[in-house]
């Protein structure tokens, strides 16, 4: 229920610049800038500070963005209540660049039309920035019912419930101008002398095994820890520094400056629906229906 200009502002803040937000939207940077400028003019408040290094929220922008997100969520809940009163269970599916809802929507298409008609599917966008994503996880089941993500994290298995949808093989993302970018498939020999970004040890058992193999058998590959979970800034860092980056195939094409190439190794990350351990009755019905497609 928020004006689209707010959603554009959220995207600019997540991406850190107008140009990267424009690339994510497949439009011009001028079009994105015009939307933010129009929002600032309409409100009479400067929301962003601009510099050659990117953009960031002003103090007023921080306050207004937080309030806009809260009002948007209240509006979504009001719509959900109205739809439920009309006899359809409202299901809120979160989506972002790195946690797209497309795999779940594809599963829903396998349900009979009579079953799909029982649910009102509401797609709720969120950002992958560490602060916003951490807040979303704490309020899972309140702001949204679920999101789809690689889910190899031991911590997530303790804090949330998971419904597996499949697995996504581990590939390597690298800048389009990198010497290896044109290869159809990479070998361990290709990776020699390169720096590979991986999430820190202890987050993903599968990637911990990859780390162990590199330390044991491929000392010429330099491993560098990514800061926490992946977000768009990690992809930007990979593109700018010329690093390689482990990337599940599920994220292929998520960054316009990177290409994703498979590797001759046997690693994959499970992915699935992440939801609260005590979901709403409506979402329990949704899970029961979804289980029939697995």
**From start to end of the chain, where are the E strands?**
48-51, 54-57, 89-95, 119-125, 146-150, 161-175, 195-199, 222-226, 244-248, 258-262, 268-275
CA-nearest of 230, 259, 254, 288 to 26 is: 254
Would 1-69 and 168-269 be classified into the same CATH topology? no
Burial class (CB in 10 A: 0-12, 13-18, 19+), 138: exposed
CA-nearest of 154, 169, 196 to 251 is: 169
Averaged pLDDT, 252-275: 92
- Which of these ranges, 114-128, 176-190, 262-276, has the smallest mean pLDDT? 114-128
Averaged pLDDT, 167-181: 94
Q: pLDDT value at position 36?
A: 92
Q: pLDDT value at position 86?
A: 58
Question: H-helix or E-strand containing 277?
Answer: none
Give me the phi and psi of 152, to 5 degrees please. -95, 0
Q: Report d(CA 196, CA 178) in Å as an integer.
A: 13
Digit-coded pLDDT (tens) for 205-256: 999 999 999 999 999 999 999 876 788 888 888 888 889 999 999 898 888 8
Is residue 57 predicted with pLDDT exceeding 80? yes
Farthest CA pair distance, the chain: 62
Position with higher pLDDT, 231 vs 145: 145
Residue 121, token pair as written in the block: 């599917």
Class of domain 168-269: alpha beta
Digit-coded pLDDT (tens) for 176-193: 999 999 999 999 999 999
Averaged pLDDT, 28-53: 90
Class of domain 1-69: mainly alpha
- Which of these ranges, 23-37, 44-58, 69-83, 220-234, has the smallest mean pLDDT? 69-83
**Domain locations along the chain:** 1-69, 168-269
* Residue 53: band (very low, low, confident or very high) from pLDDT cuts 50, 70, 90: confident
């Amino acid at each position: 229920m928020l004006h689209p200009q707010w959603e554009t502002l959220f995207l600019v803040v997540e991406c850190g610049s107008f140009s990267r937000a424009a690339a994510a939207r497949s439009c011009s940077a001028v079009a994105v800038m015009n939307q933010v400028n129009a929002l600032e003019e309409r409100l009479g408040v400067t929301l962003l500070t601009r510099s050659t290094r990117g953009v960031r929220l002003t103090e007023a922008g921080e306050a207004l963005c937080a309030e806009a997100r809260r009002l948007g969520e209240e509006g979504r809940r009001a719509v959900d209540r109205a739809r439920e009163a009309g006899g359809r269970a409202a299901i809120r599916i979160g989506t972002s660049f790195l946690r797209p809802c497309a795999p779940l929507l594809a599963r829903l298409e396998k349900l009979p039309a009579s079953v799909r008609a029982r649910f009102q599917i509401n797609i709720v966008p969120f950002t992958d920035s560490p602060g916003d994503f951490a807040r979303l996880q704490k309020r899972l089941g309140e702001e949204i019912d679920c999101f789809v993500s690689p889910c190899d994290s031991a911590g997530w298995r303790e804090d949330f419930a998971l419904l597996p949808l499949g697995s996504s093989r581990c590939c390597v993302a690298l800048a389009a101008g990198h010497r290896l970018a044109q290869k159809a498939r990479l070998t361990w020999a290709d990776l020699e002398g390169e720096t590979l970004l991986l999430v820190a040890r202890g987050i993903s058992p599968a990637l911990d095994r990859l780390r162990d193999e590199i330390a044991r058998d491929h000392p010429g590959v330099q491993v560098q820890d990514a800061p926490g979970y992946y977000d768009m800034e990690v992809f930007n860092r990979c593109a700018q520094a010329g690093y390689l980056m482990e990337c599940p195939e599920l994220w292929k094409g998520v960054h316009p400056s990177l290409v994703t190439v498979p590797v001759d190794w046997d690693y994959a990350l499970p992915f699935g629906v992440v939801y609260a351990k005590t979901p709403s009755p409506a979402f329990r019905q949704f899970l029961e229906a979804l289980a029939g497609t697995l």
